Structure 1
Amino acid sequence: MDQAAGGGFGFVQQAPNSDFVPIDKRVPAPNLAGPTVAGPDLDLAGFRGRIVVVNFWASWCAPCRAETPGLVTMAADNPQVAFVGVNEKDNLSAAKAFIRDNGVTYPSIVDRIGTLAARWPVPPGLPSTFVLDGKGQLAARFTGGVLADELMPVLTRLAAQA
Structure 2
Amino acid sequence: MSIQQTTIKASSLLTVLCLSAALAITSCGKKTETETTQTTTKTETATAPTTGATTAPAAGAGGALSAAEKTQLTPVKTALVMANSAIKSGDIAKAKTQFAKFSSVWPTVEPLVKAKAGANYAAIASGIEMVKTAMGSATPDKAKAAEGLTSTIKAMNAVIDKK
TM-score computed with the length of structure 2 as normaliser: 0.25
Higher Cα radius of gyration: 2
Q: Compare the two structures and name the one with the higher strand fraction.
A: 1
Q: Compare the two structures and name the one with the higher helix fraction.
A: 2
